[in-house]
Structure 1
Amino acid sequence: MRLLINIDVPDLDAAVAFYAAAFDLKPARRLGDSIVELLGAEAPIYLLQKDAGSIAAADRSREYARHWTPMHCDVVVDDLEAALARALAAGAAQEGAIREGTWGRIVQLADPFGHGWCLVQFLGRGYDEIAT
């Protein structure tokens, strides 16, 4: 299986700038007028220009205010504070304090387009600390 990540955004240029600055992703190529491929993660990320108000799924329209979805992306980092500072400087909003568990540390963010993200720093054996 090969995983591709697609993220709807209302402003392609602003999204490229944010994800490059926040997560050190690199624009690899433009696919037509409305898609940019970003590399630097384990899976390619495609930013898709989709206007606010356009149909997203069924009869629901896209909106880019902060929203919740049962699926989000985690960015695994070596230095949580440095990664958080970088993301905040790029325009992310921190949502809550850094939390720590036996497996590591995590902080929740929202990007400027309403999508939720987590920064995760594994400690010790990471998730193996809690695996059964």
Structure 2
Amino acid sequence: MRLLLNIDVPDLAAARRFYVEAFGLRDGRRLGDGVLELLGAQAPIYLLQKPTGSLGTGDQPRTYARHWTPVHVDVVVDDLDTALARALDAGARQEGGVREAAWGRIAQLADPFGHGWCLLQFLGKGYDEITT
């Protein structure tokens, strides 16, 4: 199985800037005028330019206000504090404080386009710390 991550954004240039600056991704291919491939993660990320108000799923118009979805992306980092500062400098919004757990540390973010992201720093054995 091969995994691709597609992210709808209203402004391709602004989204490129954010994801390159926040997560250290780099340009891959351009697929026409409205799609940019970003590389540097374990799976390629495709930014899809979709205007606000255009139809998303079914008859629901796209909105880029902060929204909740049961699917989000976790970015595993070596140094949470450094990664968080980088993401915030790029335009992310932190949602709540940094939390600590037996497996490590987590910070919840929203990108400038309303999508939820988490930064994770595993400590010790990571998730194996809580395996039963």
Task: Give the TM-score category using the shorter length.
Answer: over 0.9
Give the secondary structure class of the aligned counterpart of 2:121. strand
1:24 alignment counterpart: 24
Q: Could you tell me how far 1:131 is from its partner in structure 2?
A: 1.2
| 1:41-80 aligned within 5 A | 41-80=41-80
Identity of aligned residues (%): 72
2:35 alignment counterpart: 35
Give the secondary structure class of the aligned counterpart of 1:16. helix
Give the secondary structure class of the aligned counterpart of 1:107. strand
1:124 alignment counterpart: 124
2:97 alignment counterpart: 97
Instruction: Give the unaligned 5+ runs of structure 1.
Output: none
Q: Could you tell me how far 1:49 is from its partner in structure 2?
A: 0.2
Aligned-partner residue type, residue 125 of structure 2:
R
Aligned-partner residue type, residue 34 of structure 1:
G
Aligned-partner residue type, residue 38 of structure 1:
L
TM-score normalized with structure 2 length:
0.99
Q: How many residues align?
A: 132
Write the distance in 2 (CA, Å) between the matches of 1:109 and 1:64.
15
Give the secondary structure class of the aligned counterpart of 1:55. coil
Write the distance in 2 (CA, Å) between the matches of 1:17 and 1:94.
18
Q: Structure 1 runs of 4+ off > 3 angstroms?
A: none
Write the distance in 1 (CA, Å) between the matches of 2:69 and 2:117.
11
Aligned-partner residue type, residue 53 of structure 1:
G
Aligned-partner residue type, residue 4 of structure 1:
L
Aligned-partner residue type, residue 114 of structure 1:
G
Aligned-partner residue type, residue 51 of structure 1:
P
Instruction: Give the unaligned 5+ runs of structure 2.
Output: none
Q: Could you tell me how far 1:73 is from its partner in structure 2?
A: 0.2
Q: Could you tell me how far 1:76 is from its partner in structure 2?
A: 0.3
Write the distance in 2 (CA, Å) between the matches of 1:60 and 1:52.
11
